[in-house]
Every structure is written in structure tokens, then in C-alpha cells.
Amino acid sequence: MNKKTNPGLKIICLNRKASFNYFFEDLLEAGIVLKGSEIKSIRDGKVNIADAYAVEKKGEIVLINSHISPYKQASYSNHNPTDERKLLLNKREINKLIGKMQRDGFTIVPTKMYFKKGKAKIELAVAKGKKQYDKRAAKKNRDWNREKSRYIRRSS
């Protein structure tokens, strides 16, 4: 099975836990403000967005709790691994996200980080948290699909 992927897109890291813990309503792409040592570390693939989320601070959207490991070759100008990083969005998109977070109780969760035409981008999901019974149903459905595919493979 060949999946068609965008040739200019290089995925750095995925947040697989997000789709299990949240219902996604909307996906959008944002740029990130990074320092030189951060982008070098991201190019090495030393980034983790599993526990990250985005909030509003002073009219801007900020990514919190993302971990970018320090770059070894950057001496005194190295960065703090868990700094808050500003996300680059249009004013209209920022206002829409702030409204959804305040009125409807949505959260903004990063789903993947990738390079697009040499620029680091992050895909954000406007999401609502799943309850425990929703997670159990998703796990049960996934296991059933796995068993079904095994059965079909054996029978043919």
C-alpha cells in the first residue's frame, strides 16, 4: 500500500496520543517562532509534542509544554527545552480560536510537527476531550477491526 504524501513535507514528530484522548473538530496549520539552536535540534528530530497544548496569552497563541532537546554544538546560546513558543497565525484565526476556547470549552492540541518548504510548521487540532467510556469504545472498535482483518486474511 503506497500512501501518497506531499513531496515537500517531512514529518518530524506525531502526537498519536491526541487522537485517542480528544475528538478533533478542526485542523489548522501554524508556523512557530524558533531560535537557531531550536531549529537545529528539530532537524535532528529531537522534539516531543506528546504533552503539549496551546493557550492564549496577551492576544497571541502560545505553545506550552513542548520539549525541544538542547543542541549539543550550541555553546552559550543554547535554549531552554520547555520554553513557551509563539505560534504564527492570522488575527482572524487567533480570534476564532480564542472564541472557541472560551465559549465552547475546546482545547488546542498539536497533532504533528513537520517541515514544509524548509519551514517548521505545526498542525493544531481544535479538540474536545473524550470521556472514559469513549476511549473504551475506541479501543474496542480498534481491536475488533484488527481481529476482523486477521480473520479475512486467514480465510482467503
| Spatial CB neighbours of 25, under 8 Å, sequence gap ≥ 6 | 106, 125, 126, 127, 128
Tell me which residue range forms the domain holding 20: 9-130
Model confidence at 7, pLDDT cuts 50, 70, 90, reads low
Q: What is the CATH number of the domain that holds 62?
A: 2.40.280.10
Tell me the average pLDDT across 32-38: 89
> 4 in a domain, yes or no?
no
> 148 in a domain, yes or no?
no
pLDDT tens string 46-96: 899 999 999 999 989 999 999 988 888 877 778 878 889 999 999 999 999
pLDDT tens string 83-98: 899 999 999 999 999 9
Beta-ladder partners of 44: none
> 115 in a domain, yes or no?
yes
> 136 in a domain, yes or no?
no
> 25 in a domain, yes or no?
yes
Q: Quick one: pLDDT at residue 1? A: 47
Q: Which residue has better confidence, 89 or 8? A: 89
What percentage of the chain carries pLDDT values higher than 70? 96
> 67 in a domain, yes or no?
yes
3-state SS record for the chain: CCCCCCCCEEEEEECHHHHHHEEEEEEEEEEECCCHHHHHHHHCCCEECCCCEEEEECCEEEEECCEECCCCCCCCCCCCCCCCEEEECCHHHHHHHHHHHHHHCCEEEEEEEEEECCEEEEEEEEEEECCHHHHHHHHHHHHHHHHHHHHHHHHC
> 143 in a domain, yes or no?
no
Mean pLDDT of the chain: 88
Using the predicted structure, report yes or no on whether residue 2 has a pLDDT greater than 90: no
Domain tally, the chain: 1
